Structure 1
Amino acid sequence: MNIPIIPETASSVRTTCPYCGVGCGVRATVHADGTTEISGDTQHPANAGRLCVKGSALDETIGLDGRLLYPHMRDSSTSNLQRTSWNQALDTVAQGFSDIIKRHGPDAVAFYVSGQLLTEDYYIANKLMKGYIGSANIDTNSRLCMSSAVAGHKRAFGADLMPVCYEDLELADLVVLIGSNTAWCHPVLFQRIAKIRETRPAMKLVVIDPRRTATCELADLHLPVKAGTDVWLFNGLLHYLSQHGKTDAAFVAAHTNGLDEALAAAAASSADPLTVAKICKVNVRDLLAFYDLFASTEKVVSAFSQGVNQSSAGTDKVNSIINCHLLSGRIGRPGMGPFSITGQPNAMGGREVGGLANMLAAHMDLDNPAHRQTVQTFWNAPRIADKPGLKAVDLFQAIEQGKVKAVWIMATNPVVSLPDADQVQRALARCELVVVSDITEKTDTNDYAHVLLPALGWGEKDGTVTNSERRISRQRPFLSPPGEARADWQILCSVAQRMGFDGFRYQSVHEIFDEHARLTAHDNAAENTGRQPRLLNLSGLCGMSKTQFNAMQPVQWPVMPAAHDEPQGTQRLFTDHHFVHPDGKARFIPTAPRTPKNMPDQDYPLSLNTGRVRDQWHTMTRSGKSPKLNNHITESFIDMHPQDALLCGVREGSLARVSSPWGAMVARVQHGGGIPRGSIFVPIHWNNQSASDARIGAVVNPVVDPISGEPEFKHTPVRVEEFPVSWHGFILSRHDLALGEIAHWGRIQGRALTHYEVAGRNQISHHGQWARQLFGIHDPDADWLEYEDKTAAIYRAVHIRDDRIESCLFLSPRPDLPSRTWLASLFAKDMLEEADRVGLLIGQPIEKGIDTGSTICSCFGVGRNTICDTIRQQNITSVAQVTSCLKAGGNCGSCVPEIKKLLELTMAATEEN
């Protein structure tokens, strides 16, 4: 891997993982030969050395293949992006924004940013847009995952505050995971829960999720609620707690308001458990078991994620959960509280500096004149935004309508990730000026850029991030900036200066962090303001030298000055039961349940749920570069119940089209066993770079929560129908191929090869000629293995060069083709054996045990067949025994639920035989 390095000898740098909101510490060791070794940071409190498989594979994602290294501008005559100078690109951006503001006003421009930015980048973007341009049209892709939690926290507590810490998950006697496949999406947190349960078997785990996910494999109780019914469920719990006297009357009386209204709303919708069970489509005995468990257990943590937030009723769902903790007084003490598990590495840091369109920096409110004055004065800004800007979905609708004429997109890929993604394409296609800052040259969004700016990536960036437990960590560089790439804050400052704005002459990221810290402390004391002090207070981090900033240890805010050198962080909030509303009390919020606006009907009878898979991240621009991560799930899929598949006329393994009133996509049908009837699940990651037609965002409806603006990713009415093809196939090749006109294709990077899944509607009359042309083989004497059964329409071809497999092609009218895992293993051989050649011709390995099967444990590359064979041969009865024999499950542990499931299936099959 050709990577520029800073040191000439091996050195270890402590930094932070760029994936989920757990915020794990990472040690990156760069060796003299340019290779990088990644390990968990044993000193970081979030993970104590643990890393999930995505974090462990970070070294495979930092190569320069596919990197955007130089500024580009679109040539008006050819419509192609052409390399240009930084001066030309920055002048174009600054002049373009200035001209549009002069002609149409500040609300005609916008920024769309990302939880992938560091806090300092976010701070500069927010300062430029809200304080100098004078518009609040800056929103973030965190709108898509965390804004309902933000809105719920503000309603209940008075500010966007996370009361608990990770340790509470280990101290709790009951952990309730709601709408969170924690085992796959936040594996290190899940392993902390799993580990503590080994020493405390009495600790209970309840999972509330419409799907039976990997997380459910370790649960004591799974409530498979119908999607969208969470408010009914938790209103029922609130009513149950009230009726059974499981309340903290003293806490409620002294520290809350609004209980009567909240109880009335709960009684009106969810007083009868039988009714709740019917609406939620769960067994009433299981429902009452959950209610009783919550009521009888003092130390309860209710952790929720996208299944709660990504809803047109997401804010009410959040508050219905918080209501139950307020009624029982389970907040502000160890081992208890509501816990929003953040999706992105710096979603919280972005919110701290006002990255959302309805917020100001330092947790100040845009609709509060005193707060606006505080921020404007501190920034010495010529103006300040005085009304909320456009939230993400509204923003791109305004672009299509011509109301917003320039947009700057940073570190995100909205053409894939936003709902109604085809509308985003239309919007960008007609936008007067589209600027994109990215590290990847080719993305779906970059296709619409007029100016493309190369940013620094993970390993090169310097600054801070804040994780789900309010812990600020340093992200430190260990690689040199490649090409002409620059930090996002530097790019923003250069544009701001060209627009004639003072206040952006920073020399280092340390200066920006210090300004951010000082703003959190500015005008932030009750005795000085007559208001409740803001809990986001970094006064203990103000005035650090650059050396102190570089050495800063992970710390949870608020951070207050201490007598000793180390600033004093805060593990939990509300320990004094004092909240941030003007009267110091928390608010119960009445939550009246409502059904989603768009319900399944005759034309669209199924409900679409979207989400992540274990080893991929967002739109795969980072994780898709890792062969280790790509081995787990190699193509997009449609998970659906077998009876629904039968009614739709599709079969497992076949291709199908999912369509809604907003768009369509194509993927392969599977029966994962965890999806209820009436629903389907499709992952969010695949895009136009990795598949011909797999952007699920195009299908998702653009309905949003009226309070938070967060889209309804978990409930879109769809139909599923056959995508007819004449043949199926796959290609493995050491080189990228031009596939030409093929009805369906998917592409993923393997180790030393590229893997294509293909399907076509055309009849191939001369397979050999077509295959040679596809592989670019013109030598009639090339080492070429070929098999064709014209009756069965099966064709196999292999190109061998210097006794090494160069590429292979397998075609069949049926989708059940030979094992890709076995064939991929042949690419690692320096010389093919005769048995390999025979196996290639007959389409299966000659020797038993060669085909390891699809990857289950990505950390150690252990396949399904290997695990199942070992279980049978060794009479294994526990996951620990599997780990002892094969190492599988012994590193990050995210595959443990899958191993457990395989163990149960294999043991059951053995008993039957």
Structure 2
Amino acid sequence: MSFPVIPISSPASSSTVKTTCPYCGVGCGVKATPRGHAQPDIAGDETHPSNFGRLCVKGSALGETVGLDGRLLQPKLRDKESGAMHAVPWSDAIGVVANGFKRIIDEHGPDAVALYVSGQLLTEDYYVANKLMKGYVGSANIDTNSRLCMSSSVAGHKRAFGEDIVPVNYEDLELADLVVLVGSNTAWCHPILFQRIVKMKEKRPEMKIVVIDPRYTATCEMADLHLPLKSGTDVHLFNGLLAFLAEHDTTDAAFVDAHTSGFDAALAATDGFDLAQTARACKIDAHELLEFYRLFARTERVVTVYSQGVNQSSAGTDKVNSIINCHLVTGRIGKPGMGPFSFTGQPNAMGGREVGGLANMLAAHLELDNAEHRELVQTFWESPSIATRPGLKAVDLFNAIEAGRVKAVWIMGTNPVVSLPDGEQAKRALDRCELVVSSDIIERTDTNAFAHVLLPALGWGEKDGTVTNSERRISRQRAFLPAPGEARADWRIICDVARRMGYAGFDFRNVHEIFDEHARLSAHRNDEDRIARAFNLDGLTGMDSARYDALAPIQWPVTDAAANGTERLFGDHRYRHADGRAHFIATPPRLPVNAIDDDYPLVLNTGRVRDQWHTMTRTGKSAKLAGHIGEAFIDMHPQDALACGVREGELARVSSRWGSMVARVQHGGGMSRGSVFVPIHWNDQVASDARVGAVVNPVVDPVSGEPEFKHTPVAVEKFHVSWHGFALSRATPLLDDVTYWTRIQGAQFVRYELAGRKHFEGSDDHRAWARAMLDVDDPHADWLEYEDRSAGVYRAVHVVNDRIEACVFLSERPELPARTWLSTLFAKDELDEEDRIGLLLGQPVGKGVDTGPTVCSCFGVGRNTICSAIREQGLKTAAEITSCLKAGGNCGSCVPELKKLIVETEMARLSTV
């Protein structure tokens, strides 16, 4: 049997190694070249079919994130008396975990322990974790943070197709004549795929892009039509589309009759479609809704992309099925350029699904509630037991921990105190848990503060295995850096614990042996009618280490009949339900469980920003990525802000029935009345009180168990402070007297945005406070300062040997000097006279230029630079900006912002004419 291979280099050498990006589900190929103690060189892999050499700004900045600062490098145990963590040998740590889990299982049964894992794990890690819990512990209490982002898609696929199958591929985005993006800020969250769509639209202007999203996002800048539907009304909209297609006879009746079931019930659930009624329910202009319905009806090649805006809902599974219903009724599935397409959020969310990483699944796409499937897996594993019922899904798991039903939890590669809804509940749960184990690469996280055992895992660049992206493409993640300290691969840690617990079946010597077992299980009895499934890696079984190392990206299923993988599925109309048909699912529309009221009159939506990832333990290290958006924010409509008594630039508190957080108000221009948006990334390690998970509604979808991250009733009120400020310092300042702070990584310094309630009486008070915060105890230190009592302004600079060491700027108002030009002073070996004057004036003098906030992170181009070029050179297009400044010329994720700046600059010019 032949295997697809690519040339690779040895991870131990300084040659370039081909690997895979660890961020979103696009699964971009990366070329990494180690440079000794310097940052590795990172480039896109031109041969990888997901990205063909392009990388977004996060991928391009990966070299800045692999340093060992903050790394967990030794196993640690928490001292019961002092509460301090202390390093121990691996044998001791493994013993504590194994003995603790075994004792609790013996005393309370297998359901008293749990694993909570992550889409950051490689497939091989996921596989052995699932095998340990379901086949040896005998409990299905293993769930994953992927529950929080794509489990509604899994449930929707299984209801419609009989198996969790994504039928399309990335090429279909380019072949489509209509791309519908639902609940997806693709330009920011999946920028490489968005650029593929945009490039194709440039070649074929007749191609249409429709964005369905409550917010006007960067993605909308490229859209032909934006439908700003009311949060939670997606099912209304797609039920309306289903009824419209049926009413106007634009269905594929032959396909529906021959290959589907349940259409009549699904149509009945649309409840007498009325365009005007649907438009009112969705708060969309009826003419624009009709335009979309007609466009969908007359366009054969349609791909409907959906992401977290659909999945993260108490009706997420119904939203997924309402979309799939519209593709089934038109027969637009299984053919090039058409089909429903779930964009996954994490690099290996799909791989986790393949191995049964969710609490309600078995490995190899087998069903936990099917006795024949359970027998197959147990026999293959030769395991002493097999889980017989679904385990606890993420939110339920942490409720069970708090209630004491689950007494030990092992958390791997995730930060649930930040990422789960009702984050304070997660804190209470872990605080009461008898044994909390955390495998992580970072020592200090919000979650690790509650751990009794810390186990150092390998990070990206050090790990070896496979991941599967959103189009079912398996790619190799290869190590190009040595394991630091005593860190170990997750699969090895899990196997060590399993063996110490006395379990056989975990004697893997290397990672390729795990992959081979995973592949063999996928093929085991896969030719039998009641057990057959699309997921099949039979063509990848039997690889030796060399062939595994050289494995080229390939899409499953991989069989003798499809030795080079399978581009798309369902072209043969073979679905995985017992009747061989695809199933329409009736989706009666229902609104979110918790409605707004007088106490909580606004709807909170959460999501990502362009240049950060999850809880920032990786991207937070990069100065390049920090330049775009440095602080958490509350984006809201100006009229809502006025009603709440808050102004743009001021701090405000967002509160719900579950908790609160504080961030700065902005008017980004994309919010409709009644809605606010807060990003998910900030946590207690980088901000004083910006953890939005503490606010989020914990209600979940009854089918998928996915939480409602897109609809939490909230109130917004002013957060009162006496002063605002910021500090830039080469050392970490002391923040004991600071009410509000956010940490932002810079190049050769750290920046802190600050605010406080302390009242300063005069310059001596200011000076004493500033010197204490910056830890300047030398009375003869070179200390420059300026104070304007009438304006409530104070500035101070600490200089050592003519080089700036730190500076602090304070004001009674939030308006403060620009930070960008100040950051350039930290790159200088010594300050000149103009620099010193500028520091006291609060603005650059002479040759100093303030480039403004970063817009293009790839090339470090600021807003002021771009706007000046637009004005002075008469630039009219994003391409002209790229030609002039390079901005937008790499990943393209800033192109929507460039287009917006062109419009804003022209409007500003016209207003002065």
Same fold (TM over 0.5): yes
Supply the distance in 2 between the matched residues of 1:148 and 1:7 (Cα, whole angstroms): 38
Residues 768-804 of structure 1 show CA distances to partners (whole Å, capped at 9, x for unaligned) of 1111122222222221110011222210000111211
Instruction: Check 1:841–1:325 CA distance in 2 against 1; reply closer, same or farther (3 A cut).
Output: same
The question of 1:670 aligning with 2:666 is answered yes
| Cα drift, residue 6 of structure 1 | 8.1
Residues 231-267 of structure 1 show CA distances to partners (whole Å, capped at 9, x for unaligned) of 0000000000001111111110100000000011113
**Percent sequence identity over aligned pairs:** 69
The question of 1:824 aligning with 2:828 is answered no
Supply the distance in 2 between the matched residues of 1:371 and 1:536 (Cα, whole angstroms): 14
Say if 1:7 and 1:32, in contact at 8 Å, map to a contact too.
Answer: no
The question of 1:197 aligning with 2:201 is answered yes
User: Which one of 649, 656, 676 corresponds to residue 653 of structure 1?
Assistant: 649
Supply the distance in 1 between the matched residues of 2:564 and 2:54 (Cα, whole angstroms): 25
Supply the distance in 2 between the matched residues of 1:546 and 1:7 (Cα, whole angstroms): 14
| Cα drift, residue 741 of structure 1 | 2.6
Q: Secondary structure at the match of 1:859?
A: coil
Q: Secondary structure at the match of 2:277?
A: helix
Instruction: Check 1:683–1:241 CA distance in 2 against 1; reply closer, same or farther (3 A cut).
Output: same
Residue 711 of structure 2 is matched in structure 1 by 715
Supply the distance in 1 between the matched residues of 2:711 and 2:57 (Cα, whole angstroms): 29
| Cα drift, residue 534 of structure 1 | 0.5
Say if 1:135 and 1:384, in contact at 8 Å, map to a contact too.
Answer: yes
Letter aligned with residue 752 of structure 1: Q
Say if 2:373 and 2:531, in contact at 8 Å, map to a contact too.
Answer: no
The question of 1:112 aligning with 2:111 is answered no
Residues 151-184 of structure 1 show CA distances to partners (whole Å, capped at 9, x for unaligned) of 0000000000000000000000000000000000
User: Which one of 513, 525, 543 corresponds to residue 515 of structure 2?
Assistant: 513
Residues 852-891 of structure 1 show CA distances to partners (whole Å, capped at 9, x for unaligned) of 0000000000000000000000011111110011000000
Say if 1:532 and 1:581, in contact at 8 Å, map to a contact too.
Answer: no
| Cα drift, residue 562 of structure 1 | 5.8
Q: How does 1:210-229 map to 2 (within 5 A)?
A: 210-229=214-233
Q: Secondary structure at the match of 1:781?
A: coil
Q: How does 1:381-420 map to 2 (within 5 A)?
A: 381-420=383-422
Residue 743 of structure 1 is matched in structure 2 by 739
The question of 1:889 aligning with 2:888 is answered yes
Letter aligned with residue 361 of structure 1: A
Structure 1 length-normalised TM: 0.98
| Cα drift, residue 331 of structure 1 | 0.2
Residues 627-665 of structure 1 show CA distances to partners (whole Å, capped at 9, x for unaligned) of 100110000000000000000001100000000010000
Supply the distance in 1 between the matched residues of 2:38 and 2:179 (Cα, whole angstroms): 44
Letter aligned with residue 191 of structure 1: Q
Supply the distance in 2 between the matched residues of 1:415 and 1:80 (Cα, whole angstroms): 20
The question of 1:776 aligning with 2:757 is answered no
| Cα drift, residue 531 of structure 1 | 2.1
User: Which one of 634, 637, 641 corresponds to residue 630 of structure 2?
Assistant: 634
In terms of mean alpha carbon deviation, does 821-830 or 710-719 score higher?
Answer: 821-830
Residues 353-372 of structure 1 show CA distances to partners (whole Å, capped at 9, x for unaligned) of 00000000000000000000
Q: How does 1:10-409 map to 2 (within 5 A)?
A: 10-32=14-36, 34-268=38-272, 271-409=273-411
The question of 1:456 aligning with 2:458 is answered yes
Structure 2 length-normalised TM: 0.98
Extract unaligned runs of 5+ from structure 2: 1-8
Supply the distance in 2 between the matched residues of 1:751 and 1:562 (Cα, whole angstroms): 53
Supply the distance in 1 between the matched residues of 2:828 and 2:282 (Cα, whole angstroms): 54
The question of 1:789 aligning with 2:791 is answered no
Supply the distance in 2 between the matched residues of 1:354 and 1:580 (Cα, whole angstroms): 17
Residue 903 of structure 2 is matched in structure 1 by 904
Q: How does 1:374-773 map to 2 (within 5 A)?
A: 374-525=376-527, 529-531=528-530, 533-561=532-560, 567-765=563-761, 766-773=765-772
Say if 1:493 and 1:504, in contact at 8 Å, map to a contact too.
Answer: yes
Say if 1:11 and 1:31, in contact at 8 Å, map to a contact too.
Answer: no
| Cα drift, residue 34 of structure 1 | 4.1
Q: Secondary structure at the match of 2:704?
A: coil
Residues 27-84 of structure 1 show CA distances to partners (whole Å, capped at 9, x for unaligned) of 0011355431000000000000000000000000000000000000000110111111
Residues 640-697 of structure 1 show CA distances to partners (whole Å, capped at 9, x for unaligned) of 0000000000110000000001000000000000000000000000000000000000
In terms of mean alpha carbon deviation, does 873-882 or 554-563 score higher?
Answer: 554-563
Letter aligned with residue 545 of structure 1: D
CA-based RMSD of the aligned residues comes to 1.1
Letter aligned with residue 548 of structure 2: F
Q: Secondary structure at the match of 1:11?
A: coil
Residues 694-746 of structure 1 show CA distances to partners (whole Å, capped at 9, x for unaligned) of 00000001000000000000000000001000000000001112211311111
Q: Secondary structure at the match of 1:294?
A: helix
| Cα drift, residue 532 of structure 1 | 6.0
Say if 1:532 and 1:582, in contact at 8 Å, map to a contact too.
Answer: no
Supply the distance in 2 between the matched residues of 1:245 and 1:727 (Cα, whole angstroms): 64
| Cα drift, residue 848 of structure 1 | 6.9
Residues 494-551 of structure 1 show CA distances to partners (whole Å, capped at 9, x for unaligned) of 00001000000000000000000000000110xxx33262100000000011100000
Residues 98-135 of structure 1 show CA distances to partners (whole Å, capped at 9, x for unaligned) of 00000000000000000000000000000000000000
Say if 2:741 and 2:752, in contact at 8 Å, map to a contact too.
Answer: yes
Supply the distance in 1 between the matched residues of 2:508 and 2:14 (Cα, whole angstroms): 31
Letter aligned with residue 872 of structure 2: Q
Q: Secondary structure at the match of 1:253?
A: helix
In terms of mean alpha carbon deviation, does 259-268 or 774-783 score higher?
Answer: 774-783
Q: Secondary structure at the match of 1:35?
A: strand
Residue 879 of structure 2 is matched in structure 1 by 880
Instruction: Check 1:249–1:8 CA distance in 2 against 1; reply closer, same or farther (3 A cut).
Output: closer
Q: Secondary structure at the match of 2:515?
A: helix
Residues 173-215 of structure 1 show CA distances to partners (whole Å, capped at 9, x for unaligned) of 0000000000000000000001111110100000000000000
Letter aligned with residue 315 of structure 1: T
Supply the distance in 1 between the matched residues of 2:448 and 2:357 (Cα, whole angstroms): 22
Supply the distance in 2 between the matched residues of 1:775 and 1:252 (Cα, whole angstroms): 70
Q: Secondary structure at the match of 1:267?
A: coil
Say if 2:855 and 2:894, in contact at 8 Å, map to a contact too.
Answer: yes
| Cα drift, residue 832 of structure 1 | 1.4
Supply the distance in 1 between the matched residues of 2:835 and 2:185 (Cα, whole angstroms): 41
Supply the distance in 1 between the matched residues of 2:416 and 2:39 (Cα, whole angstroms): 33
| Cα drift, residue 397 of structure 1 | 0.2
Supply the distance in 1 between the matched residues of 2:240 and 2:232 (Cα, whole angstroms): 15
Instruction: Check 1:454–1:33 CA distance in 2 against 1; reply closer, same or farther (3 A cut).
Output: closer
User: Aligned pair count?
Assistant: 901
Supply the distance in 2 between the matched residues of 1:715 and 1:841 (Cα, whole angstroms): 46
| Cα drift, residue 849 of structure 1 | 6.7
Letter aligned with residue 763 of structure 1: H
Say if 1:541 and 1:561, in contact at 8 Å, map to a contact too.
Answer: no
| Cα drift, residue 833 of structure 1 | 1.7
Supply the distance in 1 between the matched residues of 2:396 and 2:300 (Cα, whole angstroms): 42
Supply the distance in 2 between the matched residues of 1:9 and 1:606 (Cα, whole angstroms): 55
Extract unaligned runs of 5+ from structure 1: none
